[in-house]
Structure 1
Amino acid sequence: MTYAFNPSCHGTHSLLRHIPKYPKNPHKATKDKKQVMINLLSSGTSGQGKSIVTHLYDEKRCRRALAEFIICDEQSFRIVEKPAFKKLLNEFEPRFPIPSRTTIARDVWQLYLGEVKVLKKILKQCSKRVYLTTDYSTLN
């Protein structure tokens, strides 16, 4: 196959106009927050069944998931500063700006306060009494 090329009429001007309009990584500069991605998920432990689902990037959900990870696995807040952890998160979701340890500590505290509100609401709706007991012999 042969292509015709004449530098006087077939130049790179259109590319030079294109570059400022569109960034190198379209995921970092996505202005449309409602743009979804399609993921292929395995269902079950055997991985036999696969289903296609849509995924919408949400920074708040990512930060909440990170806070839940730190709480459930009893991780230090400093884990977000470790290079290997940053690399891992960047591989999973390059658009996610990794928060500092003080920011993630604040997120954990906000998550705790939200759970306290939920628990208080449940206990207020419950018309029965709640009894808390401990086994004194295991406290020594």
Structure 2
Amino acid sequence: MKLRSEVWEHFAKFVNEEGESKGRCKYCEKELFCDPRRNGTTSLRNHTYSCKKFPTNVSTKQTQLNYQPIRGQEGDDSGTLTSWKFDQEAIRNALARMIIVDELPLKFAKKEGFRHLMDVACPRFHIPSRLTITRDYFQFFVDERLKLKRFFKQSSQRVCHTTDTWSSLQRINYMFLTAHYIENDWKLNKKIINFCPISSHKSEAIGKAVEKCLFDWDINKVSTITVDNTSSNDV
């Protein structure tokens, strides 16, 4: 049977004298068990992260010069020289950000075209799994939330809010709360600070959800709260 796992690109499979299936690392020659019924390839995959001779794990302090042209000026050959060094974590964060900004599916990183591109552009980059990219998504959310909470706490301005409610096909009611504020450089900005299910579209349920959100974000300086133009929101 053809070996389908990606780890076999870095391991050589063999059977020892006891009849046990093992895999030998092509870089450090360490042998690991890989019986498909008892072990699988998890231990082999984990070894690629800790192997000191694995191509993507070899640390180097040497940087390379990279020419960056000036964006937005077609036909202009001017640019700047910058130093570049391979950074697995930085490229992984950039990949997660690209999938978020361009609204791509999680399986995009595993598609053949993208894998071929990385093999040509940066073969040392180890493409993360969908679970790892999901964790990166959540870490982006945590970092942005902390920065925004710090801004609201340190800023002396009042924050305006707008709410909107809707029902899904499963008849579940949802509400999201958007904060509108002015940044330090006098630019109007807005952020969705809450997206949660609510019991109903009545104003009492909406009011409790808004109140809980403001307490969670520690927003005390509220300017206005704008709701839908329905009679139920008069409360």
TM above 0.5, yes or no, is yes
Between the aligned partners of 2:125 and 2:58, the Cα distance in structure 1 is 14
Counting aligned pairs with the same residue, the percent is 33
Output the CA distance in 2 between the equivalents of 1:114 and 1:59.
19
Q: Deviations over 1:73-107 (max 9, x none)?
A: 00111101111111112222111100011111111
Q: In 2, distance between residues paired with 1:30 and 1:119?
A: 35
SS in 1 for 2:159: coil
Q: Given the alignment, which residue of 103, 116, 119 partners 2:132?
A: 103
Aligned equivalents of 1:116, 1:30: Cα separation in 2:
32
Residues 1:36 and 1:30: Cα distance change in structure 2 (over 3 Å): farther
- 1:81 maps to 110
* 2:94 match: 65
Shift of 1:136: 3.5
Matches within 5 A, 1:1-140: 28=55, 31-44=58-71, 45-46=73-74, 47-133=76-162, 136=228
Distance in 2, Cα, partners of 1:31 & 1:102: 24
* SS at 1:124 equivalent: helix
SS at match of 1:132: strand
Q: How far, CA to CA, are the matches of 2:130 and 2:57 in structure 1?
A: 26
Q: 4+ residue runs of structure 1 moved beyond 4 angstroms?
A: none
Unpaired runs of 5+ residues, structure 2, are 1-26, 28-53, 164-226, 230-235
1:82 corresponds to which letter in structure 2? K
More strand by share: 2
- Measure, in 1, the Cα distance between the counterparts of 2:95 and 2:61: 22
Distance of 2:157 and 2:70 partners within structure 1? 40
Aligned length: 112
1:94 maps to a residue whose letter is P
Q: Which amino acid aligns with 1:105?
A: T
Name the one with the larger helix percent: 1
So what's the TM-score if we normalise by structure 1? 0.70
When normalised by structure 2's length, the TM-score is: 0.43
Q: Mind listing any 5+ residue stretches in structure 1 that lack a counterpart? A: 1-19, 21-26
Provide, for residues 32-78 of structure 1, a one-character-per-residue CA deviation record: whole Å limited to 9, x for no partner: 43211111222242241133221121111101101110110001111
